[in-house]
Amino acid sequence: MSTITFTNARLIDPESSEDFIGWLQIAEGHIAARGEGTPPVSDEQTIDCGGQCLGPGIVDIGVKVCEPGERHKESYKSAGLAAAAGGVTTIVTRPDTSPAIDTPESLEFVTRRAQADTPVNVLPMAALTKGREGREMTEIGFLQDAGAVAFTDCDHVVVNTKVFSRALTYAKSCGALVIAHPQEPGLSGGAAATSGKFAALRGLPAVSPMAERMGLDRDIALLEMTGAAYHADQITTARALPALERAKRNGLDITAGTSIHHLTLNEIDVADYRTFFKVKPPLRSEDDRLAVIEAVRTGLIDTISSMHTPQDEESKRLPFEEAASGAVALETLLPAALRLYHAEQLDLPSLFRAMALNPAKRLGLNSGRLAIGAPADLVLFDPDVPFVLDRFTLKSKSQNTPFDGQRLQGKVTATYVAGEQVYRRT
């Protein structure tokens, strides 16, 4: 594998919070050296970055690839191409397929598909309970041996507290990470919007932000009892933040994430029932959005993810209440996140700490950093390129993005996985 030296690059290092013009050299799939000033002389390939940003590749927890069962919505091949185009070098896939990934055999199937068709790293998660039905936990130990990096029932909350506590206890004994969706299912069932004036004026079935707080409170109580490692997939309301802060202060093994849509959009964006803006949990108030941004800035919320959820036209072109929830975001994650940078709400090291370093650390990976010896999973991007997004240019099979037709700023120039270029913008 050849040596590549990137010169005249704006290095974004989330680990040291540095943002400076320098050079970086990769060899044999890893970062070999970096620094400021003049790079060492090399007979191998040199790439002049022209002052563009060079950061660690994004590690995206919670990507839905619709194999098996709904390959017409997204395949591993299309998801991998979309990830590479978006600067995502590692996708951590969800088990909410049809059927659910809840056995070592089904996990091995998707692992083979990913290895054959995907240019980026793919780490699969497995279901926490069989069929994601919340009745009986899966064979966590065997699934770990087959390659599962975490266990989750996704947006299916395990209602039976005894089943959930047993699963947490067993996960603790295996050293496994459990990822949950904090929500009180009785309150949130059937909701299409967040309660408030907007939902009332639109006549939409709504859920109180307190449902997220109640779900998180229950999970935290079970963490105190079991000592398990836990990650909340999406914290989207201000009401949930004090409980999260107390749990961390008390030393529980808890981290939390949020989605790019809840950081950059609010409930008003739904406007006249635009179903591409229907996500789960529903978009929140502007006050909630700003509170969550501040929580990311301070590190209370650890990760930002795309929550990439492909849906076909037939499931979205329905009345708002009946339309499927979810949006694709592998290609729009970085340009949407750069909205926060251009608004001076988050700097670039903070963004990449939440999108690359912290997700990698939570999963025990060595990536997400620009440290010497780290994998050469990198994204080269220009944060200032303006463009209007056309959803039909996306590489995902489904184009259900809320950013269609919106002005964005920032494009990926090239993506590298283990030192190999897997995408270059033409």
Q: Does residue 389 surpass a pLDDT of 80?
A: yes
Q: Is the peptide bond before 68 cis (omega within 30 degrees of 0)?
A: yes
Q: Is residue 260 part of a domain?
A: yes
Using one digit for the tens of pLDDT, what is the confidence trace for 110-152? 999 999 999 999 999 999 999 999 999 999 999 999 999 999 9
Q: Does residue 39 surpass a pLDDT of 90?
A: no
Could you tell me the pLDDT band of residue 43, with boundaries at 50, 70 and 90? low
User: Which residues make Cβ contacts (< 8 Å) with residue 308, sequence separation at least 6?
Assistant: 60, 62, 63, 64, 79, 82, 91, 327, 328, 329, 330, 396
Q: Is residue 283 part of a domain?
A: yes
Full residue range of the structural domain in which residue 300 is found = 54-362
Could you tell me the pLDDT band of residue 44, with boundaries at 50, 70 and 90? confident
Q: Is residue 48 part of a domain?
A: no
CATH number reported for the structural domain that contains residue 232 in this entry = 3.20.20.140
Q: Is residue 327 part of a domain?
A: yes
Average pLDDT, the chain: 96
Could you tell me the pLDDT band of residue 331, with boundaries at 50, 70 and 90? very high
Using one digit for the tens of pLDDT, what is the confidence trace for 164-204? 999 999 999 999 999 999 999 999 999 999 999 999 999 99
Q: Three-class SS of residue 32? A: strand
- Provide φ and ψ at 259, rounded to 5°: -100, 155
The total domain count for the chain is: 1
Closest CA to 29 of 159, 112, 148, 121: 121
Could you tell me the pLDDT band of residue 41, with boundaries at 50, 70 and 90? confident
Q: Does residue 1 surpass a pLDDT of 80?
A: no
Write the DSSP string, 140-176: HHHHHHTT---B--TTS----HHHHHHHHHHHHHHT-
Q: For the whole model, what pTM was predicted?
A: 0.96
Q: Is residue 265 part of a domain?
A: yes
Q: Is residue 268 part of a domain?
A: yes
Q: Is residue 425 part of a domain?
A: no
pLDDT at site 37: 81
Write a three-state SS string for 192-203. Answer: CEECCHHHHHHC
10 Å Cβ neighbour count for 343? 10
Using one digit for the tens of pLDDT, what is the confidence trace for 194-242? 999 999 999 999 999 999 999 999 999 999 999 999 999 999 999 999 9
Using one digit for the tens of pLDDT, what is the confidence trace for 403-412? 999 999 999 9
pLDDT at site 352: 98
Using one digit for the tens of pLDDT, what is the confidence trace for 254-293? 999 999 999 999 999 999 899 999 999 999 999 999 999 9
Using one digit for the tens of pLDDT, what is the confidence trace for 67-109? 999 999 999 999 999 999 999 999 999 999 999 999 999 999 9
Q: Which long-range contacts (CB under 8 A, 24 or more apart) does 279-282 make?
A: 279/307, 279/309, 279/325, 279/326, 279/327, 279/402, 280/155, 280/325, 280/326, 281/183, 281/188, 281/194, 281/207, 281/212, 281/234, 281/236, 282/191, 282/192, 282/193, 282/194, 282/206, 282/207
Q: Is residue 46 part of a domain?
A: no
